[in-house]
Amino acid sequence: MSSILLVTSSPRGDASVSTRAASAIAEALARRTADARIVHRDLAAHPLPHIDQDFAVAVKAPADQLTADQAALLAASDEATDEFLNADAVVLASGMINFSIASTLKSWIDHVARAHKTFRYTAEGPEGLAGGKKVYVVIASAGTYTNGAAAAPMDFARPYLKSMLGFFGVTDVEFIDLEGVGLGIEPDEDILARALGKVPGAEFAVAA
């Protein structure tokens, strides 16, 4: 069975273009394989907690020495990490929030950045352990940051996600950019349609 992990983070519900685009991409990917299933991690509805002292202890201490709270945090992190590791393809979605990703997506990354699961350090340096899968990254923003835009240096979302995915061993990353959202200069539906046109099979999600 092929597994597609869809990670959404927008708090804007049905108004979110990153969630709409990412969902359409995940469904298009699923249609390519007969027995594919989509695992949806909705970080707006079910945010992972910010990492804290208990988390820092939980990922290091022997399992039989953990408190109930620490064990619960570790279990939540294990579940998110296993979803990521077991996925054949991943679609990550975020709005640009204050020039970076949604804090819920940052927390997800903090939970899946697990030594000996998604990365490890060797004598030659860090080694990613989660490679071999394609990751689509959907970023929606009001501003424009790509294609040499003047605001490009303010984009801390794409470089961060590309670096973290690379750290996890993922080199096959495709960015799906939705820029100018909500400005009224170009209809959001047109922005969505143009972005989805880059993923075969996903363009049908937007009415012509």
Ligand X SMILES: Cc1cc2nc3c(=O)[nH]c(=O)nc-3n(C[C@H](O)[C@H](O)[C@H](O)COP(=O)(O)O)c2cc1C
Interface positions with ligand X (CB under 6 A): 10, 12, 16-19, 95-99, 140-143, 181-182
State in angstroms the smallest separation of the CB of 93 from ligand X. 7
Looking at this protein, which amino acid is placed at residue 166?
G
User: Which residue, 45 or 61, is less far from ligand X as judged by CB?
Assistant: 45
SS3 70: helix
Do the annotations mark residue 18 as ligand-binding?
yes
Looking at this protein, which amino acid is placed at residue 93?
A
User: Which residue, 50 or 120, is less far from ligand X as judged by CB?
Assistant: 50
Contacts of 64 (CB under 8 A, 6+ apart): none
State in angstroms the smallest separation of the CB of 142 from ligand X. 4
Judge whether 21 and 206 are in contact, CB under 8 Å: no
State in angstroms the smallest separation of the CB of 120 from ligand X. 33
Do the annotations mark residue 138 as ligand-binding?
no
Of all helices (H) and strands (E), which one includes residue 121?
strand 119-122
Do the annotations mark residue 2 as ligand-binding?
no
User: Which residue, 119 or 179, is less far from ligand X as judged by CB?
Assistant: 179
Contacts of 84 (CB under 8 A, 6+ apart): 5, 90, 112, 118, 130, 168
State in angstroms the smallest separation of the CB of 174 from ligand X. 18
**Which residues line the annotated binding site for FMN?**
10, 16-18
Question: Residues within the annotated binding site?
Answer: 10, 16-18
